[in-house]
Amino acid sequence: MRAMYRTTAKLRSGLVTMGDLRLPYLEALGIDVWRERGAAAETIPVAARVARDDRGPAAKVAHDPGLAAGISDEIVATLDWDALRAAVSTCTRCSLHASRKQTVFGVGDINARLLVVGEAPGADEDRIGEPFVGRAGQLLNAMLRAIGLARESVFIANILKCRPPGNRDPKTEESQACSRFLNRQIALLQPQAVLALGRISAQWLLRSELPVGRLRGQMQTLDPWGLPLVVSYHPAYLLRSPAAKARAWQDLLLVRELLNRD
């Protein structure tokens, strides 16, 4: 199943036709496209044409902001890692693109067994382009090390790929607009477990309004993938509330238990 997600993305017969406005996007992404020729259809070897081009499909997306802004959720759900990263880097789907310094795609091992999901980039993340940096990031690294995981061995991402101004909470419409990217990351990664850090991440992923204190401490399920998910406190909260670290440790032990399962 994992291998299937990592093969070059293809759309199946009937999804697009020659007259479809999405055709340029699909071709630039290196997605094989079915074209109608009378009653019959043939596969256009887009991958072969892209291979002859100096720029790969991801670079084409990165060089054409309109490409990423215009692609549909269905196409995002077919992208490989490189094309997905390029699509995020040029996304203008919600208003946050206007104030960001750069997008924050996520970082780590694309074969990771653990996916860590936070809320949104802060000022440091916006500047550096990586999630969970600064003091909160250092604490996250220490938390991971405590259960035998190097930061480089997991994948770390946020619900939002762009920083909300003033570090305000994400708006629902922003999370909705951006979730297609996280959804694709989850589908590509197929992790063994997910760790949701903080209220925003936990409530969004679980479609719940319960506080972190009610969601943590037990195994939850991330649908529609059916993945085991553990909720814990955001490291930034733990820096402000050290007394919660003992409960966070219990959550980490639960993550370790999930990762040790066959």
H/E element, 228: strand 227-232
H/E element, 96: none
| Cβ 242 to ligand SF4 shortest distance, Å | 31
| Cβ 147 to ligand SF4 shortest distance, Å | 30
Query: Quick check: 184 binds ligand SF4 (CB under 6 A)?
Result: no
| Cβ 65 to ligand SF4 shortest distance, Å | 11
# residues contacting ligand SF4 (CB under 6 A): 14
Scan residues 85-104 and list those touching ligand SF4 (CB under 6 A): 88, 91-94, 96-97, 103
Mark 100-139 with x for binding to ligand SF4 (rule: CB under 6 A) and - for no binding. Answer: ---x------------------------------------
Scan residues 148-167 and list those touching ligand SF4 (CB under 6 A): 160-162
Location of structure tokens 């909720």: 231
| Cβ 23 to ligand SF4 shortest distance, Å | 23
**165 preceded by cis ω (within 30°)?**
no
**AA letter at 255:** V
Residue number with CB closer to ligand SF4 (34 or 181): 181
The 3-state DSSP class for residue 222 equals strand
Location of structure tokens 């999630």: 131
| Cβ 160 to ligand SF4 shortest distance, Å | 5
The 3-state DSSP class for residue 77 equals coil
Residue number with CB closer to ligand SF4 (138 or 179): 179
Query: Quick check: 174 binds ligand SF4 (CB under 6 A)?
Result: yes
Report whether 216 contacts 254 (CB < 8 A): no
| Cβ 189 to ligand SF4 shortest distance, Å | 18
**Cα dihedral sign for 175, 149, 132, 87?**
negative
**AA letter at 52:** R
Question: Which phi and psi (to 5°) does residue 193 adopt?
Answer: -155, 155
Helix axes 245-260, 134-146, angle to 10 degrees: 50
Residue number with CB closer to ligand SF4 (115 or 230): 115
| CA-to-CA dists, residue 184 to 15, 42, 155, 175, 208, angstroms | 19, 28, 13, 14, 21
Binding site for ligand SF4 (CB under 6 A): 88, 91-94, 96-97, 103, 160-162, 174, 177-178
